[in-house]
Structure 1
Amino acid sequence: MAKTKALFAGVFIFTVFCLPFGASAQEVFRHSDGTLTIRFEDGTEREVVPSDSILFSSAFEEITVLEKQKQPIGEPMPVYVPEDYYASLQVRMKENRLRDLRIQLEELRNKKDKLGEELEFARENPGRIRADDRVELSNRFFSASEDIDKTKEKIADGEKDLAALKRHWHKNVLAALPLPRLIPVPDNYDMGIARLADLPDDKPKKEEEPVVWKAPEDIPMPIIPHPSTVEIKDRYYHPPSFCKLEKAAKLEDGKVLVRTVKEELFFFLPEEMRIHRRGRPMLSCKINTERTDRGLFLRFHITLHIPAARRSFGGLSKYTPIRIELLNGEVVNLYNIEANTGTFDDETNSVRFEALAPLSVSNAESLRKNDTNKIRLGWTGGHEDYVIYNIGLIRDQLECLDRYLIKN
């Protein structure tokens, strides 16, 4: 037992005191983060453990400090992208956009067909569908129609742009192809044929006679009238008249009724309803003149495009005043002789009113000489002023009737 202990003690003393002197080929390095590594003779490295300071004490006498080396930041290497790549990318993007627009157009058409069926059902069954719902259906139907037109325009513009992009892309692709080049031909190369330009011209040249133009004598000169004999009228105040008669027939009592074609006199749309109505008028009025055995009359055809507003307008009672203001400041006062509460039109989803106003001799003379500016209609719910846009319509229709009666 004593011999064994003595043997172990000798081995320990040899390991502690003799091995460090024989292991002098190791190197210890300190990194920038403070860690230590040891390198052995065979070139292998590892991190330092606590026992290394005893086993390789000579290597720890001189520790090599490693400084952190900064890597130079250089410019990134440019990536070559062919020019036709961008062109082909734009072509694909444009094709995808056109495909989406065509899908959107098909969806809008289906939506319009569905709204059309619902609107037709609402018009055929006015008692089952409320007036506000019918108006909303009509607005949605017209909105879908406008969206379809806009989508068609976008598709047409996109197809033009796509064709231009494809032409540009094909041009770039052809320019990049390795096409064979033509062999340059020197100027002094003998083509083996005679040049026609070098051949002598034996034919005598014919002298060209100069062409002298002479005015024809058999065409008579136009006769231009003197400016003093020409009556020049302002086209704004005197537009070309289009005299059209709607009806000229004999009545039962033998008298003749002459009536002009009804034309648009004015339309009305409040400022606060322009966005909701999308520019469509709330109220419009057409007018025509009539000549009967009783005298001369103005007939007003008023259309209310919002049936729900019939409650606030009411109707046109008998002897309700109609006030027409002329451009010269004169006022013509008329009155309605036929009461009318309005008639609902299922096809157009609107309410129609009619008013008949007789014209006296003085009123007719004033309307023949002047243009109209404003008109005031007296509804049962109150009067309202409207601006007349076709200012010369009443004057033209009265002149049309006068010419017809004088001729016949």
Structure 2
Amino acid sequence: MADTNSNVAIAMVAGESSGDLLASRLLSGLRPHLPDARMYGIGGPKMAEYGFVSDWPMEKLSVNGLFEVLAHYRELKGIQNSLRDRLLAQKPNVFIGVDAPDFNFGLEEQLRRGGIPTVHFIGPSIWAWRGGRIKKIARAASHMLVIFPFEAEIYRKAGIPVTYVGHPLAQVIPMVPDVAAARSALCLPSDGRVVAIMPGSRMGELKHNTIAFVQAARILAQRDPGMRFIAPMAGQKQRAFFSELITQAGLQDLPIQILDGQSHTAMAAADAVLVASGTASLEVALYKKPMVIAYKMMRASWEIMRHMSYQPWIGLPNILAREFLVPELLQHNATPQALADALWKQLDDPAHQAMLRQRFTDMHHTLLRDTASESAQAVLQVIEQHKRTAGFSPARA
């Protein structure tokens, strides 16, 4: 095992709230083996619970869309270069990039050339688009940790060391959610229908998705005046922006209960969820809830990205199922009326709801592994292998 003393250092980068959650599961497995290790880099509050110190605000990396990234390129490159120089000087025992592939793979490639072993946790969706990235991954990652069972063979064929660790969220989320407890925690009535509105955790996602999502909620409220709406926000910055957007659009009269965090409680409490594509859609599936997946982005980014896809689905539940289990409404198709109609069908079809519960339960079992332990063991093995091949030199503080 790696030395369990204060000289061991693990550097990590997670770029958004979903990465923060996923990384925290890895840290929960590492901490018992490395109780005094220094863990630092870029991360969020859930990682901080395990003693992780973030040297930059994680939100700086939470940019999506091709042109949106270009607008922030200078700042992102500056952060990447500063972190690279610091890590090359300090020589941590391992660097772990958590998702954020466009930021992390470039950093990992430079660190690996500098003699630092690199682990990448959460493989990018090369099976969905931009498959050519596997060549860059081969240069960047000493070891891949993947969360979907079909991914491991892709990396093995490319000669990249890989471990399938299951999906961390499959451990965190209960197989049978406690709806009554969740509603009680959010002061929601035990009866009546509840819809969760989840336009995304990134500021760009909120900018493009919020108005259509909330307008769809208004249409649903007109059909069912007793329906309740909840909107979990990833942080105070997101909450303020969400509130500002709906006020500017004149939608503040719709009673939406805005939550600070508590996204899992919101999913458990909901009868259905309107969710932006991404990790959150898989979380909704693990909570066995009907959903409509929607996504809007800058038009120029959309025109480029839609021609680069290898498959007809973008939502993780549909990708794993290899069929449209739940509706996907994207870009110009994500109109308030279309979103409301699709959600209404999800709410008004008990047979469909029962089918989804079974399919999502099967999916949950497939993804369920002891992710914290298995991912931690893989990281420890990378550290040990590096010690054997390069000689051990304690990381400098």
TM over 0.5: no
Question: What's the TM-score once normalised by structure 2's chain length?
Answer: 0.22
Q: Which has the higher strand share?
A: 1
Higher helix share: 2
Structure number with the bigger relative contact order (C-alpha 8 A, sep ≥ 6) is 2
For the pair shown, the structure with the greater C-alpha radius of gyration is 1
